[in-house]
Amino acid sequence: MQIMLCAISNIASGNCSEDCKYCTQSAYVKTDIQKYRRKEISQIILEAKIAKKNEALGFCLVTAGLGLDDEKLEYVCEAAMAVKKEVPDLLLIACNGMASVEQLKELKKAGIFSYNHNLETSKEFFPQICTTHTWESRFQTNLNAKEAGLMLCCGGIYGMGESFEDRISLRKSLQELQPFSSPINFFIANDNLNLKAPKLDADEALKIISDTKEALPQTVIMVAGGREIVLGERQYEIFKAGASAIVIGDYLTTKGEEPSRDIVELKKMGFTFASQCH
């Protein structure tokens, strides 16, 4: 079995106008994260080269904030074209919040393969974790990405206090979108965040993965943030549960597993690394 590895580059960090309660990049919470309006293009290229060396196929350019404006769009396009030129084998993903069809077409022209915009949770539970934008606007951006001809990467965060029914509802919405890939994040509480929820246990986390795969059999299920903390020594059981992709290296604002350990463990399990998406 082939595993797809994706790396993330947080190219514009923090100071976000939105109040998503799970996010340390929100200006509503006090944090000690690094904040910057743009990362140097040379640094992004360096990270892309490291990702490639670590067997990544996907490389995601993430910006904090509600969505794209002209300046941000230009910057993401500039970064995408620079990475494409230097590391042409990487599949580029953009994750830049709300976006119109026209903006998403510009990203596609710049070499972006897929757009990541998570629904995060069910339509019903979303107002409890964010009040500054709507779940519907998130759903619409996913429709826009499809209309623009981009592949879709759309998933959510679990363990924020949502009910079992909320998880079913989120999966139903994902079924409507039929994303190419679907990230599963596990919420990790942080003293600076107002959202308090107990850590998921490993069995529950693995069940979330298998339920998601069952609901989305054609979708690449990717395990992202929280893998190491929630699953610990059981983290490589995710593949038996239905995952076929992981985020390697660090997440947006938190440390991840050492890529070298992931690579060793995956090879020991007999997996190879995807070098193309189909």
| Residues at the interface with ligand SF4 (CB under 6 A) | 16, 18, 20, 23, 25-26, 64-66, 97
Identity of the residue, 16 or 90, whose beta carbon is nearer to ligand SF4 in the bound complex? 16
State which residue, 79 or 90, has the beta carbon closest to ligand SF4. Answer: 79
Minimal distance in Å, beta carbon 23 to ligand SF4? Answer: 3
CA distances from 105 to 30, 100, 114, 166 (A): 35, 9, 11, 32
Q: Which residues are within 8 A (CB) of 142 and not within 5 positions of it... i.e. 6 or more apart?
A: 115, 117, 119, 152, 154, 177, 179
Distance CA 195, CA 119 (A): 18
CB 16, min distance to ligand SF4, A: 3
CA distance 204 to 221: 16
Minimum distance of ligand SF4 from residue 251's CB (angstroms): 12
Closer of 31 and 210 to ligand SF4 (Cβ)? 31
- Comparison of 64 and 220: residue with beta carbon closer to ligand SF4: 64
What number of residues does the chain have?
278
Distance CA 266, CA 260 (A): 10
Locate 267 and state its tokens. 């090879």
Number of H helices, E strands in the chain: 9, 10
* Residue 53 neighbours by CB distance under 10 Å: 10
CB of 193 to ligand SF4, least distance (A): 11
Closest approach of ligand SF4 to the CB of residue 265, in Å: 30
* Closer to ligand SF4 by Cβ: residue 24 or 244: 24
- Residue nearer to ligand SF4 on the CB measure, 87 or 93: 93
> Angle, nearest 10°, between helix axes 41-53 and 70-86?
50
Residue 35 C-beta: closest distance to ligand SF4, Å? 11
